[in-house]
Structures are given as C-alpha cells and as structure tokens.
Amino acid sequence: MTEPLLKLTGITKHFGAIEALRGIDLEVRAGEVVALLGDNGAGKSTLVKIIAGGLKPSSGSVWFDGAERHFASPSEAKKAGIETVYQDLSLCVNADVVANFFMGREITRKVLGIPILQEKEMERITGQAIAEAGTRIPSLRTNVEHLSGGQRQAIELNRFVHFGGKLVLLDEPFAALGVEQTARGMEMIRQVADRGVGVIVITHIMAQAFQVADRIAVIRHGKVAGDVETAKTSPEQAVEMITGGTLTIAGMDRAGTGRDPAQQGEEANR
C-alpha cells in the first residue's frame, strides 16, 4: 500500500483544563475522501484547524507528504498544499468576487520590481471556474456582500476545486446550500478526489457522508471511535459510534446497507 498523504499520530490538544483532543490517529491517502463524523463538541473542528495550521497541537505529530510537518500558520499549510474551506464563511464581503476568489494568491506581474495585480486575467479565470461549476453570479465585480449565501459558498467551493493542492479540508461545507447546490458540491468533491487529491469532509449529515466518502472516521470525546470503509459499515453503526455504543464490528461486512434510504430522515430532521 502506498504511503498515506496525511498521517496523524497521537494528536492531543487542550485549552486550559479542557481536553479537546485526546490522542488522534488518522491517515488519509491521496485520492481518498474521508468523512469525519462526530457529535457537536467532539473535536472535529479543532482537528481540522490543527491540520490547516490554524492551531498548534499540544502533542503528537503531523506527517504530510512523507515528512513530519508542524505548520505554524495557515499560510505554511497552504504552501505545502493543504486547502481549507471553513464552516463559517471565509470571505471578505467588502471586496468583489474576483478579489475573494484569488485571496492570498493574486496573479501579479512585476514592473520595475513592483508586483502589479493582473485584474483582467484574474477576472477571466474566476469567470471560467465559476461558469464551469454551473454557478450563476451576475457580475464578478459585485462586492460579495450583495450575493446570496449559496453564491458565497459557491465561491469558496470553486476556490478549492480550482486551486486544488494535495489535501482539501472541508468543514461543514454545505451548511448554507440548497438541495441542488449540495448535490453539485458533492460532485465537486468526487471530481477533486479523482484528480488524486486527498479530501477530509466534516459533516453531521449522515446521508452526505455515506454518499461521498470512501471511509468514515468517527471522533468521539477527542478520540477516534471508529475508522471504517464506507462500504463496510452502515448509518446505524456510524450513529452508534458517534453516540458511544460499544462497537467492535468495524470490519464486519454489511455492504448492502451502506446506501440505506433511512439516512434521508436524518436530513429532514435538521
């Protein structure tokens, strides 16, 4: 088996007396979609922030792309090829679509050593990327504050599809999206994974996890409570792992139930 793209060993994180993570071991391979499940407060977002360089782990090590890495900032993680889409939107609403799309990696051309923004080219690329994804935004020069929640999220999603990198982290990416846009978002995730990018997607909608992921990892009380292939588990088992039913049948073959329609009730319950 090939070397994993991302390997976490013994990651812990405490905030004062609170132990958010208590020894996480997790691997993600290139081209693999891993769904990270867990109850509210289980430590999912903390884990994502550690991988993305926004937080430092209290102990444990992060291996990425074959070397042990300690990202001191999101910019370092990004340089290494880790792309993150956060739960709360990471857009600057006071700037236009193009500026947001290219935030942090503007195309520039040096004139006398001074970097000059190449607006026309950035606008062209943004327009292309957004059109390919089937999102409709009236003008790329509109400030993001005038756009709808769905359009905003589309900018973020298109950003990772376009720029890719080696590993993509998605923290509740579909929170603001409608049914159709969510379906398209899932498609995007598959597309990106098929290009050989590793994907970690956090969600608490079971249906989404089972639809898109190759593997399901469950975090509970700051530890990995289960890490199984999607085909070898069922939503019921996943729920049990999330809520803390003692479960040691992770390897058990119940492939047939993997796409259980019962999961749709989950979504309706939200």
Partner 1 sequence: MTPARRRTIEFLLDNLVWLMLITVLVIFSLTIPRYFQFGIFANILEQSTYVGVMAIGLAMVIISGNLDLSVESTAALSAMVTGLLFASSGIGLGIDLGPAIVMIPVSMLIAVAVGTLIGFINGFFTVKIGMSAFIVTLASFIWVRGLVVAISGGRSAQSLAPEIRMIGIERLFGIPLLAWISVLCFVIFAFIMAKTPFGRYITLVGGNEAATFRAGIPSGRILWMSFVLAGALAGLAGWLLAIRTSGATANLGVGMLFNAFAAVVIGGVSLKGGIGKLPGVYAGVLLIYSIHTAINLMRLPAHWTQVILGLLVLAAVLLDTLKLRLRERLL
User: According to CB under 8 A, which residues from 36 to 55 bind partner 1?
Assistant: 52, 54
Examine residue 129 and tell whether it contacts partner 1 (CB under 8 A). Answer: no
In the three-class reduction of DSSP (H, G, I as helix; E, B as strand; rest coil), residue 94 is classed as coil
Q: Residue 148, interface with partner 1 (CB under 8 A)?
A: no
Scanning 92-100, 199-207, 224-232, 249-257 for contacts with partner 1 by CB under 8 A, the matching segment is 92-100
> How far apart, in whole angstroms, are the C-alpha atoms of residue 181 and residue 194?
20
Helix (H, G, I), strand (E, B) or coil at 79: helix
From 1, 18, 114, 268, residue interacting with partner 1 (rule: CB under 8 A): 114
94 binds partner 1 (CB under 8 A): yes
CB of 90 to partner 1, least distance (A): 4
Quickly tell me which residue has 């782990």 as its tokens. 57
Identity of residue 245: G
Shortest Å distance, C-beta 99 to partner 1:
6
Stretch of residues binding partner 1 (CB under 8 A), selected from 56-64, 102-110, 189-197, 234-242: 102-110
Among 61, 108, 191, 264, binds partner 1 (CB under 8 A): 108
User: Does residue 87 touch partner 1 according to CB under 8 A?
Assistant: no
Compute the distance between CA of residue 69 and CA of residue 146 in angstroms, rounded to an integer: 39
- 59-64 sheet: strands from edge to edge: 18-28, 6-15, 59-64, 67-69
Helix 149-163 with 119-132: angle, nearest 10 deg:
100
Among 56, 66, 70, 79, binds partner 1 (CB under 8 A): 79
Q: Which helix (H) or strand (E) holds 105?
A: none
Return d(Cα 206, Cα 33) in angstroms, integer: 14
Which one among 23, 31, 60, 74 touches partner 1, defined by CB under 8 A? 74
Contacts for 7 with CB less than 8 Å, ≥ 6 apart: 26, 27, 28, 62, 63, 64
**Residue 84 binds partner 1 (CB under 8 A):** yes
Considering the rule CB under 8 A, would residue 93 count as an interface residue with partner 1?
yes
Q: Give the binding site for partner 1 (CB under 8 A).
A: 52, 54, 73-75, 78-79, 84, 86, 89-95, 99, 103-106, 108, 114-117, 142, 146
